[in-house]
Structure 1
Amino acid sequence: MNSTFFASIAATGFAVAFLHAALPTHWLPFVLVGRAQKWSTGRTLGVTLLAGLGHVALTIALGLALVLAGLALQPALGGLFHLIVGALMVAVGGYYVFRGRHNHTLPDAGRRTYASDRAAIVALVTLLTLSPCEAFLPYYLAGMEHGWQAFVLLSGVLMAATAAGMLIFTSLSLAGFKRLGLHWVERYEETILGGALILVGLAVAFLKT
């Protein structure tokens, strides 16, 4: 893979992570809890960012484990490795497309009231931290042949896209935008993510240079 192709992987990964962060489950609970706890806009956004960092940290940790496993297997697989990675991405993408739409109901943490701000913050951060962006994980394998620099760059892409998505939609909702017209994201998220994974998987498998 050349640097131009890696840039396309990073760009697609940014779009996937941003779309994932646009889901109401990634920002609406913070808006509702913030209002219930009478938080300022700054504090609500701060808690949102803190939870987003936990979300990203777990995803990066899982991506690291995946890359280490890939590095262990690569010598034995040789030239077949990129084909296997591409096939894996296509398979994961196909699963997303097949599963289609799943239920993005508002998490319990967004409906509850809390006796203290600390309890609210812990609940929100835990909720999102334990829900990694699994759709981004195959991108770590796709960029693995570029070494650890690619891993760091992809982690930066994930962090930037997630933070941007969560903070933007939280801010807009706090400003009074009604549901932001994001029903289509809830409905078609998995189909879009699956399609992106399939396209990148095919490119990884057959466009390696």
Structure 2
Amino acid sequence: MNTELQMLLFTAVTISCLHTVTGPDHYIPFIALSRARDWTATRTVMWTLLCGLAHVGSSILLGILGIGMGWSLSRIGGLENLRGGIAGWALLSFGLLYTVWGIKRAWQNKAHRHFDIYDDGNIYVYEHQHGDVVYPQERRKVTPWIMLLIFGLGPCEPLIPLLTYPAARHSAYGMVMLVVIFTIFTLLTMIVMVLLGYYGFSFLRTSRLEKYVHALGGFTIFICGVGMVFLEW
């Protein structure tokens, strides 16, 4: 395995774990549902896996766009021999732009999804901005099947540029490895966080980082791109 692929895989692991841990919505609802419905640990993990697979599946479908972009980069006339360098610069540029967008989004306090857990165990999903009042009629009751739909419609966008690089290098092995590693670590992180909550362990205040998750993902990609372009990782 070459150094470039190792760096991409490390970035995929970092993003998948960051994306999950800093987003309480990836595990708190499963913990609440398990308590409200008196689920066993096995059933709780099963629903976590199903929703996690839906989440990763939509991310992979979005990542196909990255594959298409990578193939396009590799076919630019007269630049065939430079395709690795072009892909590296594309990775760096996307990471920088995504970081800036993520910081701007955090500062602008954009509306985002949240789950609300009532005392009777019912869970409701809604969108809001920090500081806004959300009225009961603006909330939708959550069932396990609704959770599956929500996760299926919520992909992880940073997978796009990660798949662009091996696609530009015509590395099917690299693309498969990225998808497999991203999937495994996303699911593992979700399961670990859910089981910690299921057995009563408290979490760090990861919710404080939630609004910066896009900026953190972009910065991780940017560092990877810097390594590809300037440090010849």
Report the TM range for the smaller structure's normalisation: 0.7 to 0.9
- TM-score for the superposition, normalised by structure 1: 0.83
1:96 to 2:108 alignment: no
CA drift of 1:180 comes to 4.0
Alignment match, 2:15: 16
1:41-190 to 2 correspondence within 5 Å? Answer: 41-76=41-76, 78=79, 79=82, 81-82=86-87, 83-100=89-106, 106-107=114-115, 111-112=123-124, 120-144=143-167, 145=169, 147-186=171-210, 188-190=212-214
Q: List structure 1 segments (4+ residues) > 4 angstroms apart after TM superposition.
A: 101-105
1:86 counterpart letter in structure 2 = L
Residues 63 and 137 of structure 1 are in contact (CA less than 8 Å); yes or no, is this contact kept in structure 2? yes
Measured against aligned partners, the alpha-carbon deviations of 1:96-116 in whole angstroms (never above 9, x if no partner) come to 233346666533697249xxx
Letter matched to residue 98 of structure 2: V
Instruction: Mark the runs of 5 or more structure 2 residues left unpaired by the alignment.
Output: 126-141
1:78-123 CA-partner distances (Å, limit 9, x unpaired): 236323343223222332233346666533697249xxxxx82211
How far apart are residue 188 of structure 1 and its match? 4.2
Shift of the alpha carbon at 1:169?
0.3
Structure 1 residue 12, shift from structure 2 partner: 1.6
**Alignment length, in residue pairs?**
203
Higher mean displacement: 65-74 or 24-33: 65-74
Look up the match of 2:134.
none
CA contact (8 A) 1:13 1:157 kept: yes
Cα distance, 1:207 vs. partner? Answer: 4.4
User: What is the percent sequence identity of the aligned residues?
Assistant: 24
Q: Amino acid of the residue matched to residue 196 of structure 1?
A: T
Measure the CA separation in 1 of the matches of 2:61 and 2:210. Answer: 26
- Residue segments in structure 1 that go unaligned for 5+ positions in a row: 114-118
Letter in structure 2 aligned against 1:38 = D
Contact kept? 1:52, 1:162, Cα under 8 Å: yes
More helix by share: 1
What amino acid is the match of 2:195?
S
RMSD, aligned α-carbons: 2.7
Aligned to 2:133: none
- The answer for the alignment partner of 1:116 in structure 2 is none
TM-score of the aligned structures, taking structure 2 as reference length: 0.76
Give CA-to-partner distance per residue, 1:115-170, whole Å, 9 cap, x none.
Answer: xxxx8221111111110111232111133325111110000111111011100000
